[in-house]
């Protein structure tokens, strides 16, 4: 069968890489893709902002299955067009994608269906937003309502920082229309968890758990990004905790969507905080995470296409995915200036040397070829992803791969994979990841 992947980042590269293992696939296309994807699939031009353009491409290719990576086309309604045309696509409808497209809608949805989340206020204008700050203790979280590429969340530890975020979003328009309305919410304490499932409106299939590292600097310092790295390993949560999350958070969301008349089909990303009183939802996303997809795909042993076809056909109920117990870690290499205005056009070297280490795969994101050189084009450039017998060896391999790659202004976090999972009330794993700073470049041994 012919499979079309929509997107151009590390997430899409990881999907293409995993799709190549399927015995069901004859041809893989990616639009628009990137140089790394181009080594494993045919890359084609497409206007990601135009659902009609995506549908036209799928028709020209006679694609049997389309997988949408980024949220933009889903929020714009591309899945509705495909469904109307009778074409298979993995992704929720425009109405269901509001769970990501509007933070205000998502919070009110959670409140309506009893899904645990942080206390919040929705503010429609700057004056009301500033007044609402008085209802919360510091630190406080300020979120832009619309899509902001992972940059619309500010954790403000001082009142003046919260007011500046509100001014930037609502008066200065730094995020455009996405910041015209905001959600202000209490700051939850605990460990973050990326809990991603496949859902077909009836069945729910959890993927391997993962943890994202969003702040730009080590030890979770600095502004939020789209993600500076991620790890996936079985010690993050126990099987009992996984079942509790599905029961108390995921299933109410899927059943709530159905009750709203907008059945959910596709990937549902639940960004959670594991608090002392139990897991609470930070955000819902209507697609796979990036960079979480990279270590998750590296651990997947089931045929990805079989899982996606079961999602389309409504046959997820009772289906199980198979995973290697070996942990995986992804370290994102970013351009100088990111998450602000990144410096681009820098030559990248060392990718082949990193992958020659064994157990390491470099997933391409913000890159292009120019005069036979790989050069940077955006903030997040590469995701160096490794798998190991245990978490420590996965971390060491990933940073050994990082040490082989260079481009001017390259920066990255040195503590990916260092979090010790605390879980939430219930049985806990005794497995302990390495301490922060334990696996730095230069000290890594493979």
Peptide bond into 353 cis (omega under 30): no
Task: Clarify whether residues 173 and 195 are in a common domain.
Answer: no
Kindly state the tokens that stand for 391: 């978490």
Percent of the chain with pLDDT over 90: 89
The domain of 171 spans 125-180
From 38, 1, 41, 43, select the one nearest 22 (Cα to Cα): 1
Tell me the average pLDDT across 258-283: 95
Q: What is the CATH number of the domain that holds 152?
A: 3.30.1490
Task: Convert the pLDDT of each residue in 357-377 to its tens digit.
Answer: 999 999 999 999 999 999 999
Give the 3-state DSSP-derived string for the chain, with helices as H, strands as E and coil as C.
Answer: CEEEEEECCHHHHHHHHHHCCCCCCCEEEEEECCHHHHCCCEECCCCCCCHHHHHHHHHHHCCCEEEECCHHHHHCCHHHHHHHHCCCEECCCCCCCHHHHCHHHHHHHHHHCCCCECCEEEECCHHHHHHHHHHCCCCEEEEECCCCCCCCEEEECCHHHHHHHHHHHHHCCCCHHHHCCEEEEECCCCEEEEEEEEEECCCEEECCCEEECCEEEHHHEEEECCCCEEEECCCCCCHHHHHHHHHHHHHHHHHHHHHCCCCCEEEEEEEEEEECCEEEEEEEECCCCCCCHHHHHHHECCCHHHHHHHHHHCCCCCCCCCECCCCEEEEEEECCCCCCCCCCCCECECHHHHHCCCCEEEEECCEEEECCEEEECCCEEEEEEEECCCHHHHHHHHHHHHHHCECCCCECCCCCCCCCCCCCCCCCCCCCCCCCCCCCCCCCCC
**Residue 118 in domain:** no
Same domain, 176 and 193: no
| 195 and 309 both lie in a single domain | yes
* Co-location of 162 and 246 in the same domain: no
Are 16 and 52 in a shared domain?
yes
Of 244, 279, 313, the position where a domain reaches its end is 313
- Confirm whether 82 is domain-assigned: yes
Q: How far apart are CA 446 and CA 432, in angstroms?
A: 20
User: What local confidence, expressed as pLDDT, does residue 148 receive?
Assistant: 85
> Which CATH number do you get for residue 59?
3.40.50.20
pLDDT of 424 reads 60
Q: Are residues 274 and 168 in the same domain?
A: no
* pLDDT band at 202; cut points 50, 70, 90: confident
Say if 168 falls within a structural domain.
yes
Which residue, 146, 180, 214, sits at the end of a domain?
180
Average pLDDT over residues 15-19: 98
Residue 200 is assigned to a structural domain of this protein: yes
Domain membership flag for residue 108:
no
- pLDDT score recorded for residue 403: 98
Using CA atoms, how far apart are residues 222 and 205, in angstroms rounded to an integer? 34
pLDDT at 422 (0 to 100): 60
**pLDDT tens-digit readout, 218-264:** 999 998 899 999 999 999 999 999 999 999 999 999 999 999 999 99
In a domain, 139, yes or no: yes
| pLDDT value at 9 more than 60 | yes
pLDDT at 136: 94
Are residues 307 and 199 part of one domain? yes
Same domain, 150 and 196: no
pLDDT tens figures, 154-193: 999 999 999 999 999 999 999 999 999 999 999 999 889 9
- Residue 244 within a domain: yes
Cross-strand pairs, 374: 369
* Together in a domain, 57 and 149: no
Predicted local distance difference test score (pLDDT) of residue 228: 97
Domain count, the chain: 3
Contact 4, 42 (CB under 8 A): no
158 and 211: one domain?
Answer: no
353 lies in a domain?
no
Residue 224's pLDDT is: 87
**In a shared domain, residues 151 and 237:** no
- Burial group, residue 294, by CB count within 10 angstroms (0-12, 13-18, 19+): buried
Residue 151: pLDDT band (50, 70, 90) is confident
In percent, the amount of the chain with pLDDT more than 70 equals: 94
pLDDT at 149: 76
Buried b (16+ CB within 10 A) or exposed e, 169-188: bbeeebbeebbbbbbbbbeb
Longest distance between any two alpha carbons in the chain, whole Å: 58
User: Does 137 share its domain with 241?
Assistant: no
Where does a domain end: 265, 285, 313?
313
């Amino acid at each position: 069968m012919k499979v079309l992947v929509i997107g151009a980042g590390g997430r899409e590269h990881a999907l293409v890489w995993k799709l190549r293992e399927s015995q069901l696939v004859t041809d893989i296309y990616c639009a628009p893709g990137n140089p790394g994807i181009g080594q494993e699939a045919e890359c084609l031009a497409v206007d990601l902002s135009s659902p009609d353009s995506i549908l036209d491409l799928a028709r020209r290719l006679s694609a049997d299955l389309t997988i949408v990576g980024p949220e933009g086309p889903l929020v714009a309604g591309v899945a509705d067009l495909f469904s109307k045309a009778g074409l298979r696509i993995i992704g929720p409808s425009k109405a269901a994608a509001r769970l990501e497209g509007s933070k205000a809608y998502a919070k009110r949805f959670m409140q309506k269906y009893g899904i645990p989340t942080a206390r919040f206020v929705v503010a429609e204008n700057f004056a009301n937003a500033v007044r609402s700050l008085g209802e919360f203790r510091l630190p406080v979280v300020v979120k832009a309502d619309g899509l902001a590429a992972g940059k619309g969340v500010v954790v403000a530890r001082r009142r003046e920082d919260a007011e500046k975020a509100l001014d930037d979003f609502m008066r200065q328009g730094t995020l455009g229309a996405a910041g015209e309305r905001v959600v202000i919410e209490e700051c939850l304490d605990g460990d973050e968890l990326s809990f991603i499932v496949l859902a077909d409106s009836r069945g729910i299939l959890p993927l391997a758990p993962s943890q994202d590292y969003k702040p730009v600097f080590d030890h979770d310092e600095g502004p939020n990004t789209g993600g500076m790295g991620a790890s996936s390993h079985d010690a993050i949560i126990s099987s009992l905790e996984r079942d509790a999350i599905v029961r108390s958070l995921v299933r109410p969301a899927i059943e709530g969507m159905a009750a709203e008349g907008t059945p959910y089909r596709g990937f549902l990303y639940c960004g959670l905080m594991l608090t002392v009183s139990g897991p609470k939802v930070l955000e819902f996303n209507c697609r796979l995470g990036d960079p979480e997809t990279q270590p998750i795909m590296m651990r997947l042993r089931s045929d990805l296409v079989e899982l996606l076809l079961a999602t389309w056909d409504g046959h997820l109920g009772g289906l199980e995915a198979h995973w290697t117990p070996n942990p995986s870690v992804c370290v994102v290499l970013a351009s100088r200036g990111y998450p602000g205005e990144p410096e681009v056009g820098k030559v990248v070297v060392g990718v082949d040397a990193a992958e020659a280490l064994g157990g390491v795969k470099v997933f391409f994101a913000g890159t292009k070829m120019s005069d036979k050189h790989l050069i940077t084009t955006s903030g997040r450039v590469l995701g160096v992803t490794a798998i190991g017998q245990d978490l420590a060896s996965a971390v060491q391999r990933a940073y050994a791969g990082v040490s082989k790659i260079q481009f001017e202004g390259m920066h990255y976090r040195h503590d990916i994979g260092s979090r010790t999972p605390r879980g939430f009330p219930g049985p806990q794993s005794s497995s302990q990841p390495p301490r922060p700073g334990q696996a730095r470049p230069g000290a890594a041994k493979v």
